[in-house]
Amino acid sequence: MGRGGGEIGNNCCFSACVLFGGEGTILGTLIGAAIMGVIRNGLNLLGFPAYWQPAAIGAVIIIAVIFDQWRRARS
């Protein structure tokens, strides 16, 4: 998948738009985009291999979803 197509899905997933039926906000999507950009830039600056970057981004999304589910279960 080329750069750009997956970014939209990542940002929406990160802001919970897709996961919870539209509960995410525009601000949340923008923050998600900023976080993903910072992570991707950081991986590039650290010399992380390009073919492993999608796996690292996926791991961040999985951790965020697990944290969000844990937080929702507590409330």
pLDDT tens sequence across 18-64: 556 556 677 877 777 788 888 889 999 999 998 888 888 888 888 87
pTM: 0.65
Neighbour tally for 56: CB within 10 Å: 15
The domain locations on the chain are: 5-74
Mean pLDDT over 3-9 rounds to: 57
Q: How confident is the model at residue 43, as a pLDDT? A: 92
Give the gyration radius of the chain's Cα atoms: 13
Q: How many CA atoms lie within 13 A of 25 on its CB side?
A: 3
